[in-house]
Structure 1
Amino acid sequence: MTGGGRLAEAKALLRRLIAIDSVSDASNLPVVDFVEAYLRSLGLEARRAPNAAGDKAAILATIGPRFDGGVVLSGHTDVVPVEGQPWSSPPFALREESGRLFGRGACDMKGFAACVLAMVPAFRDAGLKRPVHIVLSYDEETTCLGSRDVIGWFGKDEPLPAAVIVGEPTMMAVADAHKSVATFRTLVTGREAHSAMPALGANAVAVAADIVSEIGDLARAYEEGPLDSRFTPPYSTLHVGMIRGGTARNILARECVFEWEFRGLPGVSSASAMAKVQAFVDAVATPRLTRFVSGPAIATIMEVDVPPLAPAPGSAAERLALRLTRSNQTIAVSFATESGHFQAAGLPTIVCGPGSIDQAHKPDEFVDEAQLAACLEFLQRLADDLAR
């Protein structure tokens, strides 16, 4: 197939993938079914790793000999919601305009998946000496846990790869580092009373506001360091994104809950951020909450903990990706990916994929057609490399 024919195939596959609504709170099985049927039509089988509920699954397809030393091409099937976003056209229908392909997931990251699938016939027919492993996961946009079962197969009942390429949007630059992300939910439970008689109760909203203010102070402290100029921003960040509580203006609030996140530079642990907040809760917030009555409490749970991707200069993944992109330098990105889980399993990993993260999660999300073409060239060089 010529380069133009392969690009046309990638665009056709992207159209089909975007048409499948795979927002994270819904099942991704329609995407899995489509991918499996496509692979089967090319004489290939995929292995599923279902979640506990059975309504989602990651898949693994291996092309080439079942030897160690191959390369993983990893992406996710889920996308973020579109509700409330002012799209110019239906978000789950591909729209082409001025060399851009619009639709939910076009950039993050069904564009990469479409390119990989379009390359399957070339991988199959290339006479690979080392295999390509295609991994498509679920829940990357919520927990980043959907790839972990498949990762656990490598080196056990599946061949051990030499390198992993996660195709999140980097404009086809090679990213060797990204921040961690951890999300938390803090519940402040107070006691209701008339607002004219504060000594009869405990105001959960007021104490939650104290903790949120402390998180803001800690966020500003992180701006002072540690710093890493490769990232934008060059420091770890703390952020409170949601808060709700109370029933009326003149009632001391019985309950207030807020949700917050920490994005840490490699080497700055999520546990350390939670410990700083907890220290304030123990020393200041809880005594304030229980000043007049006993029983009120504050509880924080960590809902998501995605590890960072730490730089590994000279790793097999870095050397391969730089050779395939014909580049001599790497970048760092501030968003989190599944790469940290691959790296934590001992697999050399980088991030490199089509499109810009600036377009992700927005209305009128798009990927440039030229970026898909560049990704296909990258994957063809990978096929050539693995066939040597």
Structure 2
Amino acid sequence: MSTLLKNATIIDATSPYHNQKKDILISDGKLEKIADSIQNKDTYTVIELENLHVSCGWFDTSVSLGEPGFEERETIKHGLQVAAKSGFTSIAVNSNTNPVIDSKSDVEFLISKAFNSATKLYPIAALTKNSDGLEISEMYDMQQSGAIAFGDYNKPIENDNLMKIALLYAQNFDGLVLSFPKNNAIAGDGIANEGINSTKLGLKGNPALAEHIQISRDLFLLEYTGGKLHIPTISTTKSVNLIKEAKKKGLKVTCSVAAHHLVLTDDELHAFDSNFKTNPPLRTKEDLKALQKGVETGVIDIITSDHNPIDIEHKKVEFSEAKDGVIGLESAFGAVNSVLDLADFIDCFTTKPKAIFKIENHSIKEGNFADITLFNPETEVIFASKDILSTSKNSAFINKRLKGKVYGIFANNQLIIN
């Protein structure tokens, strides 16, 4: 069966058809022909959609799925369907399950559960056993089984020497180490950005300093050890500047920002809605602008949804008692598209993250595998509860105005259309 995409604007800086409107014929999972006009045959599945744009398939580098252990939050099968309908042809899945993904068999379990899905699953294995921060996990064995990076999701490595050893050891197999940017001693029990709003609302503050100290430590260690370090979900102005200076020094450091940190600030906390309780916490308007500029200037390499489903029993409770985390797959595109130029963030969804995590990027060229996302960047929508596809409903974007609509994906020889 062949699929014909009609009048598709191609957004792919690595393609000879970048910014051009073309017909695209896909046969047996490959881009057979790209031309101004391709004649329709009765055997083709024809896709004609309003203001259709296509890009290389999007890759989300931080997705949490409940399975194993928290299937009531999200199963792997359902989570992959949500990712596909949200425009993601591949996702990196965090290790925060029960048991934690910290062994060869755990990694193989995740990969096997995603077999033959349209969206491909790549495990991020735990950096330490049980993510306890005490002993390094069997990183090499897990990489051999398919893990693409190592990090304890939303848990900082407090032991300086352990982080040093991890950075040294990972170099033996070109492994990528993730370090969550938070100093627990400084952050304490803080649940909101330390500042005017936390003071007004009587919420315990988590100062930006906690993020800065951890990033500074990690950069000092990286300079000493060499290797590759990825800092996920930074949230402050100074964090952008610290990483900018480290890159100037030639350190192999990369970073990501969560979509919600590009759009929302701690002004949202006045209703004490636990859907705005995130880790790192929502910061200030100044931080938001600095993060947006960080994307535009290339200091920030990756935009992620940081999708983290939390069941209602742990989320729809008093703000101070609620678990951190928001879902974001369904809203990621519409959120960032409302504040950033298309070319800037598409790069942060495609070529940049795939290069960092060593995943092949299939450019939109004849003969290549079809791994593409279909979307309309112009339409505006009010994101509603009915738009949530995930099992858990803890979205920070309900009733927010978003820009753009995801039509679906073509990947792994499968067409998924909303």
TM-score of the aligned structures, taking structure 2 as reference length: 0.22
TM-score of the aligned structures, taking structure 1 as reference length: 0.24
Higher relative contact order (CA 8 A, sep 6+): 1
Q: Greater Rg, structure 1 or structure 2? A: 1
